[in-house]
Amino acid sequence: MNPRLLIALLLILGLFSAWPTAATPPYTAIIIESGSPYFVPKSVTVSTGSPIQWENPTATEHTVTHTGCLEDGDHCAFDSGLMLPNGTFTLPGLAPGRYPYLCRIHPIMRGVITVTDGPQLPSQL
C-alpha cells in the first residue's frame, strides 16, 4: 500500500475516533423485588441531576410514586404511573432534597432517594 495513502487513512480514522458521540449518562439502578425490602436498594443518595432507573422484573404491576403526590399535587416530584412486569421507569434527575416514595398498589413497598447538591459517587444502602 502507498505510504501516503496509509498515513491519510490513519489520520482520517483518528479524526473519526475523536468525533463526539452521544452517550447515555450512567444511572443509579433500583430493582423492584417481590419480597422485603421491595425496592433494592431501599435508600440511595445521588448528586443533583443524576439519573435514577427503577426496574420491575417481577410478574406484578407496580408504581414508583413520590409521597408528595399523595399529600399535595403541588409537591409531586415524580410518579411512574403503572409499571408493567419487565418495565422500567427512569428519572433524568432531581433537585437537592429527600424524596420518600412508595408503590401506590402495594403501599408497604417504600424507599427513599436523597439528592445532594454536588458531584459525588452514588451511595446505596
Phi, psi of 75 (to 5 degrees): -115, 25
Contact 114, 94 (CB under 8 A): no
User: Domain for residue 40, yes or no?
Assistant: yes
User: Is residue 102 domain-resident?
Assistant: yes
* Tens of pLDDT, residues 93-117: 999 999 999 999 999 999 999 999 9
Q: Does a structural domain hold residue 6?
A: no
In a domain, 28, yes or no: yes
- Total number of domains in the chain: 1
| Residue 119 within any structural domain of the chain | yes
Q: Is residue 115 part of a domain?
A: yes
pLDDT tens string 29-70: 999 999 999 999 999 999 999 999 999 999 999 999 999 999
pTM of the model: 0.74
Please give the residue range of the domain that contains residue 60. Answer: 23-124
**pLDDT above 90 (res 79):** yes
The domain that holds 31 is classified in CATH as 2.60.40.420
Which residue is it, cell 418495565? 87
**Which three cell numbers, joined as nine digits, stand for 60?**
406484578
